[in-house]
Structure 1
């Protein structure tokens, strides 16, 4: 929502177009300089950061809504997107007064004060999705109600609004658990990469170091990557082979579920 009129229409008529009690929160993972990061935003009048998200349109499926919201926030499409949890048990989501006050702080920018029974003040369940994006390709779309955005390393996430710290931790746990079950990395690395580069990515996701000896064999066995004849010249006596993801096997793994034992 980039204009005041769009925001006002959303506030007054949004319940006609969106499901009032159900939203999507997106944990958008990006990888840069050997660090795994997430995209955070800060709404107008707020001191704390939060996750980007949005409401589910009445004529959309959950997946369609998640892809739309992600495209609106990053200008990217056809990304790895995974639903991982439903959030509704936290005290924050149960506290309607806190939710009401928080929304009033945000919408004060357009001169709107929400009534206690306004649809935006109702208790809302959140469906969590995580996405994997190319950090360099993300273009964050300006939003009238968002004052700032940043990329924050997952090991240094500050206290967030609502229950978003819980959502981030659950997304990270899910990503790590699925690292050897899903073709993670397709959207996080360049088109061609070396084994040390994909090894560094996996270490950044797991938050620990691990043995390289069987790493190449594991990935090749899964069939998600293939070795190229091309090499990258790094320096004297250092010309490692380049690798690329196999799109056909990658898509097959997405559809059928791939398994790679550690």
Structure 2
């Protein structure tokens, strides 16, 4: 749980829902890698997922959107609630409170916190990672270069990725992770990065084109080592129809 000074005051003044927090897994895609946005606590070398408290005046979705906007600078964000983490002993509270003693007073920690997990899919190039008063930095990290995460955030991240993989045929991952125009190899690498496995490029292109979710432009990507690939863009209406029917199950 990441909280800022105003949120600490809100907890003291009972302006938040007690013992309820949000943890957000923000996915982006860049240079062939699936990346996740992390925050480093102020004055420490400890990392975690971004998150926060839920105010009495807001819904869970509104709270998640507020937290995500603060971290990314984006307003219109694709997000999904994926799991609630409610074990009575989710992590070693004494160890965490000692590591972050210089940031959060010990008496401010909940004896028990139930966390609602959200994952978000964002366009990497449009994000402006922003730390808050409680953190020194907010950075993208590839899934193969993650630092040790505080709390039970490694489990939360793994669970979010599992949910994303299960829902990949029904969620507009490309529409949110890819730029407006993209090549077929870039789209394929995005799916490979999410699934963690290779995809047959010939079958992939054939099936994607057959689905009708993309439209081929006349523009080609220049400066590539091999034959210049054409750019594509999504047919949003058709994409929505195909996702609703689950017809991308072949990915």
Using the size of structure 2 for normalisation, the TM-score is 0.85
Question: Within the alignment, does 1:106 sit opposite 2:103 as a pair?
Answer: yes
Is contact 2:36-2:142 (8 Å) kept? yes
SS of 2:61's partner is helix
User: For the structure 1 residues 121 and 236, does the alpha-carbon distance in structure 2 shift closer, same or farther, using more than 3 Å as the test?
Assistant: closer
Which secondary structure state, in structure 2, belongs to the residue aligned with residue 227 of structure 1? Answer: strand
The 8 Å contact of residues 49 and 153 in structure 2, kept in 1 or not, is answered as yes
Segments of 5+ residues of structure 2 without an aligned counterpart are: none
**2:246 aligned with 1:261:** no
2:112 aligns with 123
Any unmatched runs of 5+ in structure 1? Answer: 1-5, 108-112
1:106 is paired with a residue whose SS is: coil
Residues of 1 paired with 2:171 and 2:177: CA distance?
A: 14
1:232 is matched with which residue: 212, 215, 221?
221
Shift of 1:208: 1.5
Partners of 1:162 and 1:207 in 2: how far apart? 25
- Residue 169 (structure 1) shift: 0.7
Contact 2:7 2:53 (C-alpha < 8 Å) held by counterparts = no
- CA distance 1:261–1:13, shift in 2 (3 Å): closer
Shift in alpha-carbon separation, 1:84–1:235, aligned structure 2, 3 A: closer
Query: Relative to structure 2, which stretch is displaced further, 39-48 or 232-241?
Result: 232-241
Task: Give the corresponding residue for 2:139.
Answer: 150
Deviations along 1:94-138, whole A, 9 cap, x unmatched? x5545654564323xxxxx343xx4x4231111111111122221
1:246–1:18 Cα change, 3 Å: farther
Q: What SS is found at the alignment partner of 2:147?
A: coil
Q: How many residues end up aligned between the 2 structures?
A: 246
Q: Deviations over 1:202-241 (max 9, x none)?
A: 1111122111222124334444322234333457993433
Measure, in 2, the Cα distance between the counterparts of 1:235 and 1:40: 32
Matched, 1:171 2:160: yes
The residue that corresponds to 2:7 in the other structure is 10
Say if 2:169 is the partner of 1:180: yes
Within the candidate set 196, 200, 209, 1:207 is matched to 196
- Relative distance call for 1:241 and 1:252 in structure 2 (3 A) is same
Question: Any idea what SS the aligned residue of 2:68 has?
Answer: helix
Deviation at 1:251, TM superposition (A): 5.0
* 2:75 equivalent in structure 1: 77
